Amino acid sequence: MTRIARGAPSVGEDTRPVTGRAALPRTLPLRVEAVRQLRRRRTLVAFGILLVLPWVLVGAFEIGGDPSSDGPGGRPSLVEVATASALNFALFALFVSVGFLLVVAVALFCGDTVASEANWSSLRYLLAAPVPRARLLRQKLIVAFAYATLAVVSLPLMSLLAGTVAFGWGDVRLPDVGAVVPSGEALGRMAIIVAYALVSQLVVAALAFLLSVTTDSPLGAVGGAVGLVIISNILDAVTALGSWRDILPTHWMFAWMDVLQPSIQWAGMAKGAALSFSYAVVLVALAFRRFQAKDIVS
Amino acid sequence: MAAAGVLVAGAVAGWRIGDDAPRPRAEPQRIQVVDGPKDDQHVTLDATFFPPVGGGRAPAILLAHGLGGSKDDTRAEAMELARAGYAVLTWSARGSGNSTGEIALDSPDYEVKDTRQLIDWLAHRPEVQLDRPGDPRVGMAGDSYGGGISLMTAAYDSRVDAIVPRITWYDLADAIFPGGVFKKLWAGILFANNENGRAPTPCGRFLPSLCAMYQKVAETGRPTDEAIRTLRRSSPSSVPGRIKVPTLLIQGQSDSLFPLDQADANARAVSGAPVSVVWFQGGHDGGDQETSRVRALTRDWFDRWLGHRGAGGGPPTGGRNQHVTSPAFTVTRTAGIDSSTQRPVVREATAGRYPGLSAPGRTIALAGREQTVQNPAGGTPASISALPGLGSLSALGDLGAGGLSSGLPRDVPGQTATFDTAPLTTSLQLTGAATVRVRVSGGPATLFAKLYDVPPDGRGGDGPDAGTPARALATPVRADGDTEITLPAMDYRFARGHRVRLVLSTTDMGFATPAQPASYQIAVTSGLTVPAVPGLHTPQQPPPWWTWALPVGAVLLALAIVAGRRRTPDSYDPALAEVPLVITGLTKAYGGGDDGQRAVDELSFRVEKGQVLGLLGPNGAGKTTTLRMLMGLIHPDAGEIRIFGHRVRPGAPVLARLGSFVEGPGFLPHLSGRDNLELYWRATGRALADAHMDEVLEIADLGTALDRPVRTYSHGMRQRLAIAQAMLGMPDLLVLDEPTNGLDPPQIREMREVLVRYGEAGRTVIVSSHLLAEVEQTCTHVVVMFRGQRVGGGPVAEVIGAEGRLEDAFLAIIAEGS
């Protein structure tokens, strides 16, 4: 018996007992949850911004002209080599958005997912459908992570497209050193950068998810996660804290810049990835525990 | 957040423990020595002795300071060595600090005699380990002038067992007059140590004869034979074959005073003993002095060659410690910038053999026609390679930042000939001194040879001022006709796509150049030969241990968090398989524990198949809380709910037989009514064919509005859609909370008929309502709740009894209960 048999009105009642876990249908399939989230204005606006931003940046460079090619000390920064090639442009776009825009996007997808259901009161009907609580969280987490990943990946991909149109495809000029990396190798490095950006956003995603489970207000969950990122950034600016800053969740957010050294530096990214993953795993576990013990009163 | 708190607390504890090391004792000493060519000059040396931490007899180390300094400069390192178990003596050399006498530049007649008597002094200390009576086991280390005395003492006193000369000279004459050209800026800085005019000579506390010699040289810009002779006597070059102890030479890559070739010459001067060479980032010009690395390398060298007593302060080992190994050649390289600290990352590259400065490499063609350069009258304006004291600008080292910011004029047009390689097809690591052959006509000419790193575009384009110095170093050469030029020794990586530029300038601000105007033609006659040491490799540094320990710990913590939760076990009572609902002793308190207010208090009732049950009660009676517990949304504090024999818990499969509408509708506002119902049904995971979608939509009676987003619906429309959703799949037990709220009278009537029909088909309906007339007409049974308890109930007719109307009966029951 793979489905729970239900009686139709003309046939009369069904009296077969419902037995065992094996009888549980696959509730809240990923495709269903993805469709439920996809048609939301919030989703469309977030992706719209991420996909339009590269073109806005291209426009800005077209209007403002090439960035100064001679920075202080003769070392070009990331913005100064932004128009060198499509890959350079994508790196620049990532650099300007990873600290806040991508944080907001990730917090949006992960912070809104449960809290908005609570806000709409649809959560209680889903749970009574019944979708077991752990499964509901799991499915929502997977879909939210997938959307967040798509958001983080879509920006550099669109930047590559916009950059190719505007500045052409070519080798990458590294900032600071001015060394040139062939485009083939640079694509590999770009993949590392995007992968690290994703891992470093894990902590934001998990924090937003925990808040989403905790509060019935989507704005509170998203804003809370973004707010904590801001506070972490402010603390990170207090250099007097010294090595204490190493355990701040956002301290390593820009460690992917180490990929742009002539030889890739892994230490910072290893530390950042370990920290982000560890925070995330604990925060998600707290979310599951909290949600399973919670009385749903929304 | 709790996890972060644990991390923070752990770090605090670790830090406290680490700060608990014993503090070495410092004993000030005044040590009398006799020196001078005739051994007749009495000098009092101001010294400090640090007994070894841990007691017993230990090897001794003499730590010497640099020119113009005093014993205080070496105090921090002395403490570290004392803590590592060595007896350490620091002293102010004659003419320095609070010692008497004059500076003689590490002369064998003066400073060398002094340090030999310091070794005598050490031999009498009870803390110092002796090889023989009067012969302590002793090592010497020091920077610059202090490194020079280490080498010279090792040459003149066989009791010295190991030395670590740092940033020092092999031939002082050659360092001050490289290629016969006077290094005037550095020499001036060394001799201008005037101590605010209180010093006995115009050039500070130097021997008057040295001061006079300097003044004469500085005036003419040419070395005198006497000066050369005097400087050479203070140099290892004057004692060939006499330095026979293990020697670690640490030389700076940012050092225009004692460049790397001085250490190279010293490495060849040590005979019959192990030699290791280290090129670190710092030097006299500044840069990253890598203090902790240099001190650690020094300590390792002494640990290896003086015998280490172990970190625990145990007894000294008799012989040399072979467990500590030092590579023969170590080069520190900036590997990039740490993005989190914005400081350069410096890595060690090591090789098992020191190859010297002219390791085999490759020859790269240089392009450039013959160029005419002018030597300006008076030697000014002069180009700039290194400026003593400004070298700290080169902290970025071989990241291409060069020594000077682009704001300073580096080379003067007309005085400089440049020759470029083609853009490099692969990156080029230069380790040693590159060479090139040039033809100079119109000479003999004094030229300053430099290497620049020219990036592919930007930064001045292809102009003569493009590129940055590979290192802020220039080697002066006297060139006439065909001449081979050896460029400054360095370790530098030219990136792919860059060009290497050979720059030959007639002037350099750091040197005395000929005042007569002249003009030369310069052409290259060979490619640039670039030595390479492929054996140098950087050991992979594994990321710190916590980068894998932390995630493992986090996963364990997460598992503990998830597992530490109590679960309600599955429970099935076959005897109740036919009974839609049995509630037994159900209790729920809000506000926690027994003190909390009981929203539901020992509630028990039973609903049989086919009944339409009205759940009645005033506001706050606990109806909604009961219904939420029925749906598995709220955990009961006590008691249980069974639906068809299955105990209800969150997500229990039996809830699939329950359709519910409690406390208003819950829809996704951006989706249409139809999509909402469809997606809801698909979320249950059951087949669409089982949904009875058409029948249900008929009940909802929304017409064309069905395909509009729900956010455009009126209250009544949402209400009807929500009831339709509850009926999806025609569940065996239907629970409706205030279903007629917001409906108009015809719809209320219709709804009543729907519910009655639903019950007649053998299903069960529970309706909670405060419209008692409605309940009276719809329901077969009622349960009356008050303050969380069941205060009455039964078949409608029975409950009404004599009262005639349900409303009256209800009020009577409530009055009884309160």
pLDDT of residue B347: 82
CA end-to-end span of chain A, whole Å? 34
Q: Helix (H, G, I), strand (E, B), or coil: what is residue A197? A: helix
| Mean pLDDT, rounded, for B75-80 | 94
Interface contact A285-B631, CB threshold 8 A? no
Note the pLDDT tens digit of each residue in B749-758: 888 888 888 8
In the structure encoding, which two tokens stand for residue B416, read together? 């400089």
Helix (DSSP H) and strand (DSSP E) numbers for chain B: 19, 33
Between residues B520 and B495, the one the model is more confident about: B520
> What is each CA distance from B271 to A185, B157, B274, in whole angstroms?
48, 15, 8
Task: Find the farthest-apart pair of alpha carbons in chain A and give their distance in angstroms, rounded.
Answer: 86
Interface contact A4-B3, CB threshold 8 A? no
Q: Please check the confidence at residue B8 and state whether its pLDDT lies above 60.
A: no
Interface contact B553-A179, CB threshold 8 A? no
Using a pLDDT cut of 70, give the percent of chain B over it.
Answer: 88
pLDDT of residue B455: 78
> Rg (Cα) of chain A, in Å, rounded?
23
ipTM value for the complex: 0.87
Note the pLDDT tens digit of each residue in B682-728: 999 898 888 999 988 988 888 899 999 999 999 889 999 999 999 99
Q: Is B537 on the interface with A (CB under 8 A)?
A: no
From A199's Cα to the closest Cα of chain B, the distance in A is 13
Nearest CA in chain A to B637: A295
Interface contact B656-A268, CB threshold 8 A? no
User: With contacts defined as CB-CB under 8 Å, which chain B residues touch A134?
Assistant: 651
Per-residue confidence band for B816, with pLDDT thresholds at 50, 70 and 90: confident
> What is each CA distance from B775 to A259, B594, B609, in whole angstroms?
72, 34, 18
In this complex, the residue of B3, B559, B668 whose CB is nearest that of residue A279 is B3
Q: Please check the confidence at residue A291 and state whether its pLDDT lies above 80.
A: yes
Q: Helix (H, G, I), strand (E, B), or coil: what is residue B491? A: strand
For residue A40, count other CB atoms closer than 10 A to its CB: 16
Q: Please check the confidence at residue B54 and state whether its pLDDT lies above 60.
A: yes
Q: Helix (H, G, I), strand (E, B), or coil: what is residue B544? A: coil
Q: Is A281 on the interface with B (CB under 8 A)?
A: yes
Per-residue confidence band for B466, with pLDDT thresholds at 50, 70 and 90: low
Q: Please check the confidence at residue B418 and state whether its pLDDT lies above 70.
A: yes
Q: Is B212 on the interface with A (CB under 8 A)?
A: no
| Mean pLDDT, rounded, for A217-240 | 92
Distance (Å, rounded) from C-alpha B522 to C-alpha B438?
7
Distance (Å, rounded) from C-alpha B204 to C-alpha B198?
8
Buried b (16+ CB within 10 A) or exposed e, B217-252: beeebebeeebbebbebbbbbbbeebbebbbbbbbb
Distance (Å, rounded) from C-alpha B218 to C-alpha B146?
24
Note the pLDDT tens digit of each residue in B202-235: 777 888 888 888 888 888 888 899 999 999 999 9
pLDDT of residue B13: 40
For residue A134, count other CB atoms closer than 10 A to its CB: 14
For residue B711, count other CB atoms closer than 10 A to its CB: 12
In the structure encoding, which two tokens stand for residue B112, read together? 């060398």
Q: Please check the confidence at residue A32 and state whether its pLDDT lies above 70.
A: yes
Instruction: Give the residue among B122, B102, B113, B112 at the shortest CA–CA distance from B49.
Output: B122
Residue B575 has phi, psi (to 5 degrees) of -65, -25
Element (H, E) at B230: helix B225-233
Q: Is A290 on the interface with B (CB under 8 A)?
A: no
Per-residue confidence band for B592, with pLDDT thresholds at 50, 70 and 90: low
Residue by residue, DSSP assigns B279-335 as EES-STT-S---HHHHHHHHHHHHHHHH---TTTT-PPPSS--TTS---SEEEEEEE
Q: Is B403 on the interface with A (CB under 8 A)?
A: no
Note the pLDDT tens digit of each residue in B513-563: 888 899 999 999 999 999 999 888 877 677 888 889 999 999 999 999 988
Which residues of B, range 318-347, sit inside 8 Å of A by Cβ? Answer: 335-340, 345
Residue with the two structure tokens 């090619």: A69
For chain B, the 3-state helix, strand and coil shares in percent, each to the nearest 5, are 30, 30, 40
Interface contact B558-A282, CB threshold 8 A? yes
In the structure encoding, which two tokens stand for residue B243, read together? 């330095």
Q: Helix (H, G, I), strand (E, B), or coil: what is residue B581? A: strand
CA angle (B353 as vertex; B347, B355 as ends), nearest 5: 95
Question: Mutate which of B428, B557, B646, B670 to test chain A, going by most A C-beta atoms within 10 A?
Answer: B670
Distance (Å, rounded) from C-alpha B308 to C-alpha B310?
6
Nearest CA in chain B to A123: B666
Interface contact B495-A122, CB threshold 8 A? no
Q: Please check the confidence at residue A127 and state whether its pLDDT lies above 80.
A: yes
Per-residue confidence band for B464, with pLDDT thresholds at 50, 70 and 90: low
> What is each CA distance from A50 to A47, A100, A114, A223, in whole angstroms?
5, 12, 23, 19
Which residues of B, range 556-615, sit inside 8 Å of A by Cβ? Answer: 557-559, 561-562, 564-565, 572, 574, 577-578, 609
> What is each CA distance from B439 to A295, B415, B418, B478, in whole angstroms?
91, 16, 14, 12
Residue B112 has phi, psi (to 5 degrees) of -65, -40
In the structure encoding, which two tokens stand for residue A282, read together? 């604990």
Question: Mutate which of B547, B556, B644, B679 to test chain A, going by most A C-beta atoms within 10 A?
Answer: B547
Distance (Å, rounded) from C-alpha A140 to C-alpha A161?
31
Per-residue confidence band for B813, with pLDDT thresholds at 50, 70 and 90: confident
pLDDT of residue A234: 92
CA angle (B676 as vertex; B670, B679 as ends), nearest 5: 120
Nearest CA in chain A to B393: A73
Note the pLDDT tens digit of each residue in B556-589: 999 999 887 666 778 899 999 999 999 999 999 9
From B711's Cα to the closest Cα of chain A, the distance in A is 11
Q: Helix (H, G, I), strand (E, B), or coil: what is residue B363? A: strand
Distance (Å, rounded) from C-alpha B629 to C-alpha B644?
16
Q: Please check the confidence at residue A72 and state whether its pLDDT lies above 70.
A: no
User: With contacts defined as CB-CB under 8 Å, which chain A residues touch B670?
Assistant: 39-41
pLDDT of residue B392: 37
In the structure encoding, which two tokens stand for residue B411, read together? 């080379």
Instruction: Give the residue among B497, B493, B512 at the shortest CA–CA distance from B448.
Output: B512
Q: Is A52 on the interface with B (CB under 8 A)?
A: no
Interface contact B651-A135, CB threshold 8 A? yes
Interface contact B400-A6, CB threshold 8 A? no
| Mean pLDDT, rounded, for A197-210 | 95
In this complex, the residue of A69, A122, A257 whose CB is nearest that of residue B458 is A69
Per-residue confidence band for B315, with pLDDT thresholds at 50, 70 and 90: very low
Candidate from A80-84, B386-390, B429-433, B606-610 with smallest mean pLDDT: B386-390
In the structure encoding, which two tokens stand for residue B125, read together? 């200390």
Interface contact B544-A9, CB threshold 8 A? no
Distance (Å, rounded) from C-alpha B86 to C-alpha B78?
9
> What is each CA distance from B669 to A40, A41, A120, B672, B712, in whole angstroms?
9, 11, 8, 8, 8
**Cα-based torsion angle of the residue sequence A289, A295, A296, B3 in order, rounded to the nearest 10 degrees:** -30
Interface contact A178-B682, CB threshold 8 A? no
Q: Please check the confidence at residue A13 and state whether its pLDDT lies above 60.
A: no
Sheet strands (E) in B457-543: 468-469, 475-486, 490-494, 499-505, 518-524, 528-531
In this complex, the residue of B7, B401, B732 whose CB is nearest that of residue A75 is B401
Q: Is B709 on the interface with A (CB under 8 A)?
A: no
Q: Please check the confidence at residue B605 and state whether its pLDDT lies above 70.
A: yes
Q: Please check the confidence at residue B396 and state whether its pLDDT lies above 60.
A: no
B41-50 and B87-91 beta bridge pairing:
antiparallel
The dihedral of CA A130, A135, A141, A147: what is its sign? negative
Question: Mutate which of B561, B609, B674, B694 to test chain A, going by most A C-beta atoms within 10 A?
Answer: B561
In the structure encoding, which two tokens stand for residue B207, read together? 């021997």
User: With contacts defined as CB-CB under 8 Å, which chain B residues touch A181?
Assistant: 496
Using a pLDDT cut of 90, give the percent of chain B over it.
Answer: 53
Buried b (16+ CB within 10 A) or exposed e, B490-502: bbbbbbbbbbbbb
Residue with the two structure tokens 């905790």: A214
Candidate from A223-237, B169-183, B243-257, B335-349 with smallest mean pLDDT: B335-349
Q: How confident is the prediction for chain B on average, in pLDDT?
A: 86
Distance (Å, rounded) from C-alpha B159 to C-alpha B244?
11
pLDDT of residue B365: 94
Q: Is A138 on the interface with B (CB under 8 A)?
A: no
pLDDT of residue B200: 61
Nearest CA in chain A to B762: A13
Q: Please check the confidence at residue A107 and state whether its pLDDT lies above 90.
A: yes
Which residues of A, range 145-184, sit inside 8 Å of B by Cβ? Answer: 171, 173, 176-181
pLDDT of residue B195: 56
In the structure encoding, which two tokens stand for residue B167, read together? 């940033």
Q: For residue B587, how far is the Cα from the chain centroid?
A: 56
Note the pLDDT tens digit of each residue in B476-487: 988 888 999 999
Q: Classify residue B281 as left (phi > 0), alpha (psi -120 to 50) or beta.
A: alpha
The 3 state secondary structure assigned to B1-70 is CHHHHHHHHHHHHHHHHHCCCCCCCCEEEEEEEEECCCCCEEEEEEEEEECCCCCCCECEEEEECCCCCC
Which residues of B, range 53-112, sit inside 8 Å of A by Cβ? Answer: none
Distance (Å, rounded) from C-alpha A16 to C-alpha B788?
33
pLDDT of residue B18: 41
Q: Is B650 on the interface with A (CB under 8 A)?
A: yes
Q: Please check the confidence at residue B317 and state whether its pLDDT lies above 80.
A: no
Question: Mutate which of B333, B339, B468 to test chain A, going by most A C-beta atoms within 10 A?
Answer: B339
Distance (Å, rounded) from C-alpha B609 to C-alpha B576?
11
Note the pLDDT tens digit of each residue in B127-172: 999 999 999 999 999 999 999 999 999 999 999 999 999 999 999 9
Interface contact A130-B653, CB threshold 8 A? yes
In this complex, the residue of A4, A128, A293 whose CB is nearest that of residue B660 is A128
Q: Is A56 on the interface with B (CB under 8 A)?
A: no
In this complex, the residue of A70, A245, A275 whose CB is nearest that of residue B550 is A275
The 3 state secondary structure assigned to B182-199 is CCHHHHHHHHCCCHHHCC
CA angle (B99 as vertex; B94, B101 as ends), nearest 5: 45
Query: pTM, whole model, 2 decimals?
Result: 0.73
Between residues A56 and A1, the one the model is more confident about: A56
Q: Helix (H, G, I), strand (E, B), or coil: what is residue B812? A: helix
Q: Please check the confidence at residue A111 and state whether its pLDDT lies above 90.
A: yes
Distance (Å, rounded) from C-alpha B617 to C-alpha B605?
14
From B628's Cα to the closest Cα of chain A, the distance in A is 8
B781-786 and A172-173 beta bridge pairing:
unpaired
Candidate from A235-249, B145-159, B251-265 with smallest mean pLDDT: A235-249
In this complex, the residue of B547, B557, B679 whose CB is nearest that of residue A274 is B547
Between residues B38 and B619, the one the model is more confident about: B38
